[in-house]
Amino acid sequence: MFAPMRRRYVSYGLAAATANAALVFFAAQSCITVPPPDLAASPLHAPIIDHDGAVPVEGTTLGTWPTTLSIPIELFDADATFEYEVFVDYEPTATVAPDVGPVREWVPPTLVDGGIFLLEVTPPSAPLDGLCHKLEVDVANSFVSPHTPDSLGGDSIWWWYGPNGCPASWQQDGAFPADAPYDGIQLAPDSGGTD
């Protein structure tokens, strides 16, 4: 009487062991045959100018108009593209098109050295009036309008150009010198009082 029961328990044990072995086998196979999920795309970043590496040195007064501006751009993606614009005497209160651009730069991964791409810009022709001018280069992922980068933001770099130098007050804020003669119509301010 005990022998048939023992055979039944042995049969149940063998069946359970076989089922467990099959589960382990199929679980291992599913781990091996299921490909890993795709990696999340890295977030986009605006290009960043390495201001210390620019040639000529940023913010200096140039006595001669440059033929080339060398601007190191830090990129976060080896297959990146970005745009640049060049302005001479950009005026924020006026809507003006850039003097150069926007130009889309397609950067081959082989030209990116440690995340830095050397942008070589040819500025427009030099102003011939002998006055002081501000030369500016803006970079961004893209521009929504002149001098306005998209939501990722952008960066800019600038130089003064004056064949005879530039007044110190221009170099501080870009405004006309305080002692420059005013040639417009001067209006008396309204006192704001009642009559």
pLDDT at 32 over 60: no
Cβ atoms of 80 and 44 closer than 8 Å: no
Q: Pick 95 or 86 by higher pLDDT.
A: 86
The pLDDT value given to residue 108: 74
The pLDDT value given to residue 186: 42
pTM: 0.64
Tell me the C-alpha distance between 78 and 116, whole Å: 9
The rounded mean pLDDT for the chain is: 77
Tell me the C-alpha distance between 65 and 133, whole Å: 10
39-79 confidence digits (pLDDT tens): 655 557 789 999 999 999 999 999 999 999 999 999 877 66
pLDDT at 1 over 50: yes
Q: Pick 116 or 71 by higher pLDDT.
A: 71
Domain 48-173 indexed as CATH 2.60.40: yes
Q: Which of 54, 105, 33, 55 is nearest to 75 (CA)?
A: 105
Q: CA of 59: how far to CAs of 8, 44, 55, in Å?
A: 92, 29, 11
Q: Which of 148, 135, 114 is nearest to 64 (CA)?
A: 135
For tokens 């751009």, the residue is 73
The pLDDT value given to residue 166: 86
Q: Which of 86, 135, 67, 79 is nearest to 107 (CA)?
A: 79
Q: Which of 86, 90, 6, 77 is nearest to 43 (CA)?
A: 77
Tell me the C-alpha distance between 45 and 139, whole Å: 12
Q: Which residues contact 73 (CB under 8 A, 6 or more apart)?
A: 47, 48, 49, 50, 82, 116, 117, 118, 119, 139
Q: pLDDT band for 133, please (50, 70, 90 cuts).
A: very high
| Beta bridge pairs of residue 157 | 137
> What 8-state DSSP symbol labels residue 156?
E
